[in-house]
Chains A and B, each alone.
Chain A
Amino acid sequence: MNMLTEMNLGLPTKGAVTGAVLGVLMFATAGAALAEMKAAVIFGVANPVAVNGWDRGQFEGVQKLIDDHGWDVTVAEAVPFPGLANTAENYAKSDYDVVIFTSSGHIKAWNEVAPKYPDTLFVMMSTTSSLPESDNVLAYTSDFYAYGVVNGLVAGLATETDKIAAIGGVPVQALEDMFSGIVESSKIVNPDIEVLTAFSGDWTGIPRAREVSVLQIQQGADIVIGNAGVGTRGILDAVQSTETQFVGYATDWTEDAPETVLTSVLMNIPSWYEQLAQDVESGALTPRIELFGAESFALTPFNDSISAETAQKITDYVDQYVNGELDVPKVNHSFK
Chain B
Amino acid sequence: MMFLDPDFILSALRTGTPLMLVALGVLVAERAGVLFLGVEGVMLTGAFFGVLGAVYMDDPWAGVLTGTLVGMVAGLITAALVVWLPTDQVVMGLALNIAAIGLTSFLFRLAAGDLSQMTPPLNFTVPESLADNAFFAFLFGVPPLTWLTLVLSVVTSYLLFRSAPGLLLRSVGQDVKAARSAGIDIRVVRTVAMVIVGGLTGLGGAALTVGWVRSFSDDITAGRGFIALAAVYFGRWYPGWTLFGCLLFGIGESVAFRAQMLGGNPHLYLMIPYVLTVAVLALTGRARAPREVGRPYEGN
Contact = CB atoms under 8 A, between A and B. Distances in A.
Interface of A: 45-47, 49-52, 78, 171, 198-199, 201, 204-208, 210-212, 214-215, 218-219, 230, 233-234, 236-237, 240-241, 255-257, 336
Contacts of B40: none
A179 to B, nearest CB: 13
B175 interface: no
Given A47-B109, A204-B219, A215 B257 contact: yes
17 contacts: A50-B116, A52-B116, A198-B257, A198-B260, A199-B266, A201-B267, A201-B270, A207-B208, A211-B15, A212-B257, A214-B7, A214-B11, A215-B11, A230-B218, A237-B118, A237-B213, A237-B214
Contacts of A215: 7, 11, 257-258, 261
B117 interface: yes
B112 A233 contact: no
B253 A211 contact: yes
A236 B257 CA distance: 17
Nearest to A205: B222
Q: Which of B11, B112, B254, B260 has the most CB of A within 10 A?
A: B260
B115 interface: yes
Given A50-B109, A50-B115, A198-B257, 11 more contacts: A45-B218, A49-B112, A78-B218, A211-B14, A211-B254, A214-B7, A215-B261, A233-B213, A237-B215, A240-B118, A241-B121
Contacts of B257: 198, 208, 211-212, 215
A51 B215 CA distance: 11
Contacts of B241: none
Interface of B is mostly: helix
A237 B217 CA distance: 13
B213 A206 contact: yes
A171 B116 contact: no
A205 B265 CA distance: 18
Interface string B1-42: 000000100010011000000000000000000000000000
A255 B116 contact: yes
Interface string B209-223: 000111101111010
A256 B113 CA distance: 11
Nearest to B12: A211
A46 B108 CA distance: 10
A46 B258 CA distance: 30
B105 interface: yes
B87 to A, nearest CB: 28
Interface of B: 7, 11, 14-15, 105, 108-109, 112, 115-118, 121, 123, 208, 212-215, 217-220, 222, 253-254, 257-258, 260-261, 265-267, 270
B260 A199 contact: yes
Contacts of A241: 121, 123
Contact of B215 (A78, A199, A204, A206): A206
A240 B253 CA distance: 22
B100 to A, nearest CB: 14
Contacts of A201: 266-267, 270
A211 B258 CA distance: 9
A20 B41 CA distance: 54
B11 to A, nearest CB: 6
Given A199-B260, A206-B220, A207-B15, A50 B212 contact: no
B257 to A, nearest CB: 5
Given A201-B266, A206-B213, A212-B260, A47 B118 contact: no
Contacts of A212: 257, 260
A254 to B, nearest CB: 12
Contacts of B11: 211, 214-215
A212 B14 CA distance: 13
B118 A50 contact: no
Q: Which of B115, B121, B218, B253 has the most CB of A within 10 A?
A: B218
Q: Which of B108, B213, B219 has the most CB of A within 10 A?
A: B213
Contacts of B108: 47, 50
